A and B are shown apart, each in its own frame.
Chain A
């Protein structure tokens, strides 16, 4: 992995966006499914439980976007690009490894960011969500989450031989994060060790940062102000950074660019 030259990155990402636009099923799941999800959640009657509960639901949806739109889709895409030998082809030129991996990730990242905007907007309109306590923290959580799940997707290709296998190999991360990261704040009486393990999951710091940035709190505790949340943000920010570093090192050393023979 090394530097990115913008013109080269743009060339790959433009081609990937074009391919994405020609893939009907990918378009459907990117554009239509989240709308269905948003409407379903809205219809479930969260509004009675107050804006804070609604905030928890919307930030959970943002976490779900990272898992579904970034992580799952990207494992599938990386593996299929590897199996059809496109990764090897791209490596036969001047592109750096970073340019290749980020270029291929572009459609998923664009879709994920668009879905997040939709969910936030829907939350604001339907539930009258509060103005974020610290917008920067909210954005940092969302963007850090995108980076982490791009890296974890790249790591997962190591043990994913085919695109079909991705349906199985992505389950551990998907389930652990869906259950653990979203729910851990509700587990008041769980043992310390369990809570600590759940906090170490890659999605937990992302959801925590987004909740702190938006609501000023990750759960039942009282909300803090713009600067008050920064103290609480330190631990999740550290965990997130650790995941990013582990991800970069692992991908740099272990990423497979060709199918196994």
Chain B
């Protein structure tokens, strides 16, 4: 994907993707993260070949996914954000219909087994829960044994157990050499699964790299509650702590951001020990994608345009 722009609604319309470039390597999982309206889904639709960019170039397996749909699609599995299943077909009929359109489909039973829907095979789609529909969607996406899997918010609406199962399945596909591009707004999901990721905001990629690379440069966080009578001024100088650490009144929760978690924590704890101060609710967290993400999203006003 190279310097891609995508605008909706004519020349003066809304530009959802404003110069996005990234490359997904064979066999890796690349995650697109972003707030609502960041341009994730628009980017995904360009990769899927549903729309054509106004500028820039999209290549999937060496082809233009929009123009060479017939060449690309047999090797790509797509999971859309919304199902679009006829409500009056059963799960098994839906899978059978889809399998009939594919070059080399898995057995229907195997696909349903993968997403744990075997016991719902004879139920009409109308009667499925939202999470079950997402799983059916996932089953269809992998039904054609794709080499490239495009997943647009695959686990939105899944309960925690189903989400774990979906992750397990995605990992096993990765182990088989499948390349995955996924959008999500669950930071934890990106951290769990992604080899590399890009954070989008306002139609551009604002940060890209491996989770470790993106997280580097963002501070770790220590939170605790100062006991009554102890004001923040009484704290010793903490090595590595950033000055913007929020200082609050005694008895209030306090957050310290630090670039040297262990050193800061050691100093803090030995101070607490010496003065017999109890740090209630003490928590120390290394820098995470959440930090990086919030730093990006806070930069300017988050746009609530469209999902």
Task: Give me the interface of A with B, judged by CB distance under 8 Å.
Answer: 2, 7-8, 10-12, 14-15, 18-19, 22-23, 84-96, 99, 257-258, 261
Contact at B84–A93, with CB atoms within 8 Å?
no
Interface size on B, residues (CB 8 A): 28
* A-B CB contacts (within 8 Å), total count: 73
Q: Are B97 and A14 in contact (CB under 8 A)?
A: yes
Q: B93: which A residues are within 8 A, CB to CB?
A: 15, 18
Q: Give the shortest distance, in Å, between B74 (CB) and chain A (any CB).
A: 6
With A19-B89, A94-B74, A261-B306 given, is the CB distance from A85 to B97 under 8 Å? no
Q: Which of A15, A88, A91, A99 contacts B89 (CB 8 A)?
A: A15
Is there contact, CB below 8 Å, between A95 and B101?
A: yes
Interface centre among A22, A87, A257 (most CB of B within 10 A): A22
Shortest CB–CB separation between residue B47 and chain A, in angstroms?
12
B32 in the interface, Cβ–Cβ < 8 Å? no
Chain B 75-115 per-residue mask, 1 if CB under 8 angstroms from chain A, else 0: 00010101111111100011011111111000000000000
The answer for the CA separation of A219 and B88 in the assembled complex, in Å, is 47
Given that A15-B93, A19-B88, A261-B306 are contacting pairs, would A89 and B102 also be in contact in the complex, using a CB cutoff of 8 Å?
A: no
Q: B100 near A8 (CB under 8 angstroms)?
A: yes
A1 to chain B, nearest CB (A): 12
Indicate which residue in B84, B96, B144, B306 contacts A89 across the interface (CB closer than 8 Å): B84
Q: In the complex, what's the smallest C-beta–C-beta distance from A100 to chain B, in angstroms?
A: 9
CB <8 Å contact, A2 and B70: yes
Q: Is A93 touching B102 in the complex (CB atoms < 8 A)?
A: yes
Shortest beta-carbon distance from B68 to chain A in Å = 12
Once the chains bind, are A12 and B97 in contact (CB under 8 Å)? yes
Assess whether B78 is in contact with A92, with CB atoms less than 8 Å apart. yes
Given A15-B89, A94-B73, A94-B101, verify A88-B50 contact (CB < 8 Å).
Answer: yes
Query: In the complex, what residues of B have CB within 8 A of residue A99's CB?
Result: 101
Which chain A residues border B103 with CB–CB below 8 Å?
A: 94
A199 to B82, CA, bound (A): 45
Q: Mark B145-181, 1 if CB is under 8 A from A, else 0.
A: 0000000000000000000000000000000000000
Within 8 A of A (CB), among B22-70: 48, 50, 70
| Contact with B84, one of A19, A23, A86, A96 (Cβ below 8 angstroms) | A86
Q: Across chains A and B, which 4 residue pairs bring their CB atoms closest together, nearest first?
A: A11-B100, A89-B84, A85-B84, A15-B97
> Shortest beta-carbon distance, A93 to chain B, in Å?
5
Residues of B close to A18: CB separation below 8 A: 89, 93
